[in-house]
Amino acid sequence: MTGRSGRRAGKPDTRGAILAAAREAFGARGFDRASVRGIAADAGVDPALVHHYFGTKEQLFQATLAIPIDPGQVLSTMLDGDRDRVGENLVAAGLAAWDSPAGVAAAALLRSAMTSEWSARLLREFLLTQVLRRVRRRLDLDGPDADWRLGLAASQMAGLLVMRYLLRMEPLASAPRAQIVTTVGPTIQHYLTGALDLPAA
């Protein structure tokens, strides 16, 4: 998905040098302000080689975090449906992704983010620009309310993932996905689109 078959074209450490420069740039400047051109310069390679190895800037960011699925694809599917079902769809898709082989990488990323400030910074940036921004657009959320709504929804989703996959506490650890969707989906929906007592702007 990220054009890794191009590996044969470069020096053995070119890919690693690009990833290291990207990790540094995305963490220090954030996704929006980091540029493929700047990352290429830091790695001492031509920008075309970055695209050749990793595809788009989004894909480079995913590769930096070793995330094997494209959140844009996953999210576009789950955000396509009824606005009133976004909460359930987000829980369903999140659990499906974590129950898939990609879940191992996701768990490793979450663990890493809790013990390394740099990883936490990258994960925050990833959630903000690759996940929450898409939800925000889909739901036409705006202003300080939107930050609260997305933050609260993310907190419930994060807690669900932590309890089910990292701490493995029952009944959430073994429950069928559909049951969790039914009970947690409405909470996420409420945070995103329901009546909340939020701080005045």
CA distance 87 to 136: 13
Q: Which helix (H) or strand (E) holds 13?
A: none
Best CA proximity match to 77, nearest among 93, 66, 59, 101: 93
**Token output for 110:** 């979450």
Residue 55 CB, nearest approach to a copy of itself (Å): 27
Q: Which is nearer to a copy of itself, 14 or 189 (CB)?
A: 189
Residue 88 CB, nearest approach to a copy of itself (Å): 11
> Which residues contribute to the site for a copy of itself (CB under 8 A)?
110-111, 113-115, 120, 123-124, 127-128, 144, 147-148, 151-152, 154-160, 162-164, 166-172, 175, 179, 182-184, 187, 190-191, 196-199
Tokens 């044969």 locate to 8
Q: Which is nearer to a copy of itself, 52 or 190 (CB)?
A: 190
**N- to C-terminal Cα separation, the chain:** 41
Q: Which is nearer to a copy of itself, 92 or 113 (CB)?
A: 113
Residue 152 CB, nearest approach to a copy of itself (Å): 6
Q: Which is nearer to a copy of itself, 74 or 113 (CB)?
A: 113
CA distance 83 to 66: 31
Q: Which residues contact 118 (CB under 8 A, 6 or more apart)?
A: 23, 27
Q: Which is nearer to a copy of itself, 40 or 90 (CB)?
A: 90
Residue pair 87/185 in contact by the 8 Å Cβ criterion: yes
Residue 7 CB, nearest approach to a copy of itself (Å): 31
Q: How many CB atoms lie within 10 A of CB 159?
A: 13
